[in-house]
Chain A
């Protein structure tokens, strides 16, 4: 079986009825898609298959033979974030980070499908994605901002923004 993942082509040895998640994590070594529940219920393994968001844990490998898969590693790196990645970063939409890759992939599909997506559109598109930390508020805000084009993908260096700490205790190593 063949699979294109983030633009690179792979010939896979995983069994045909293994899940796409198994092939990504265990054979190819792409770990952003997580094995959260392995029954389609948490969304953290969501990837784009030929541009459409799908649960990698529910996808039998043989049904995606020849397909093109994109994971968050294929969206953008730290110096070149995609709009959705930048929005998640700016809006503090990732806390523990375990659900983040799946959220970003589903949100990316929404934003590409529907510029100017509303809050309701976001709730629908992320309805199956489980975040145990945040309460979803910042995640929804981030995706709405990304859909509205209100993100700055040129990331400031966190160190510049924080500045040098002031020495408040005379003689301290700081």
Chain B
């Protein structure tokens, strides 16, 4: 088995958030290494990206705080640290891979990892969308802060610095298909939450390149049949599930998530 060590890459090791932002620049020619769960196998197989590798360990963006109901999640916070987070984020975090992988994978990586060759990635994304989380990122044009659902389609060339979610007074629910095995990404998942003002937010993961918000389903309210969500997504076949199967299961999962919310009320 090849265990190719990396020797020729220029290594960037920022010691602070500011240094990380500066080293990242406009993101060209920089590969960001968070936990390494996606990149290390690539390196080992000899698929080493051109340019520089920036390692986030030591950049001081790995803090998780809960400030009066607002969750501040640093980009390098490990998925395992979110296992007890408010729903649906806690359930989403617990459904990622296994004990060891969760302890190593980061939130930033979960938001930025591109779709795999034959499967979706980013199992936390739908939960963060449902919670109305905001992402702070750096890159060309400077820093910006935006909702997760707006960040995901234009995340290319961005360095995630942190995520904030108002969780006080919010009720959440998570419904997902079982994974075929521990290390599989979730084939399809629905996250839903109701805010203190009664606002219902629903999102789905495993539906494409990244998770998406489901506005048609949201408009139908907690009594939605679930099939409204089909107007919100463009489903495709991949190694985990067919579009045919997802089309039949998405309404079921929406309904399950909404039923959970109704039961909590």
A60 touches B103 (CB 8 A): no
A15 touches B40 (CB 8 A): no
B100 touches A53 (CB 8 A): yes
B3 touches A54 (CB 8 A): no
CB proximity of A113 to chain B, nearest CB, Å: 10
Residue A39 at the chain B interface, CB threshold 8 Å: yes
What 1/0 flags go to A113-139 for Cβ under 8 Å of B? 000000000001101110000000000
- Residues of chain A in range 5-29 having any CB-CB distance to chain B below 8 Å: 14-19, 21-22, 25-26
- Residues of chain B in range 172-192 having any CB-CB distance to chain A below 8 Å: 182-183
B44 touches A128 (CB 8 A): no
CB < 8 Å: which of B3, B7, B182 contacts A21?
B3
B3 touches A18 (CB 8 A): yes
Residue A85 at the chain B interface, CB threshold 8 Å: no
A60 touches B99 (CB 8 A): no
- Residues of chain B in range 1-54 having any CB-CB distance to chain A below 8 Å: 1-3, 5-7, 9, 11, 13, 33, 35-37, 40-41, 43-45, 53
What 1/0 flags go to B97-124 for Cβ under 8 Å of A? 1111101100000000000000000000
B99 touches A19 (CB 8 A): no
Where chain B touches its partner, the secondary structure class is loop
CB proximity of A40 to chain B, nearest CB, Å: 6
CB < 8 Å: which of B3, B11, B101 contacts A16?
B11
Residue B225 at the chain A interface, CB threshold 8 Å: no
Closest to A35 in B: B1
CB proximity of B176 to chain A, nearest CB, Å: 16
A57 touches B182 (CB 8 A): no
CB proximity of B36 to chain A, nearest CB, Å: 5
Report B-chain residues with C-beta under 8 Å of the C-beta of A127.
Answer: 98-99, 182
A55 touches B3 (CB 8 A): no
Q: How far is the CA of A76 from the CA of B127 in the complex (A)?
A: 43
CB proximity of A35 to chain B, nearest CB, Å: 4
A58 touches B11 (CB 8 A): no
- Residues of chain B in range 145-193 having any CB-CB distance to chain A below 8 Å: 182-183
Most buried by B among A16, A25, A106: A16
Given contacts A59-B104, A127-B98, contact A40 B41 (CB under 8 A): yes
B99 touches A58 (CB 8 A): no
Given contacts A19-B44, A41-B183, contact A26 B3 (CB under 8 A): yes
Not counting A54-B103, A62-B55, A106-B100, a sample of 19 additional A-B residue pairs whose C-beta atoms are within 8 angstroms of each other reads A15-B6, A16-B11, A19-B3, A19-B43, A22-B5, A35-B1, A38-B1, A38-B2, A54-B100, A54-B104, A58-B104, A59-B36, A60-B55, A62-B11, A125-B99, A127-B99, A127-B182, A128-B98, A128-B101
**Shortest 6 CB-CB distances between A and B: which pairs?**
A128-B98, A18-B5, A39-B41, A17-B6, A35-B1, A15-B5
* 10 A-B pairs whose Cβ atoms sit less than 8 Å apart in the complex: A25-B3, A38-B41, A43-B98, A53-B99, A53-B100, A55-B101, A59-B40, A60-B57, A63-B55, A127-B182
Q: Which residues of A contact B (CB under 8 A)?
A: 14-19, 21-22, 25-26, 35, 38-41, 43, 46, 52-55, 57-60, 62-63, 106, 124-125, 127-129
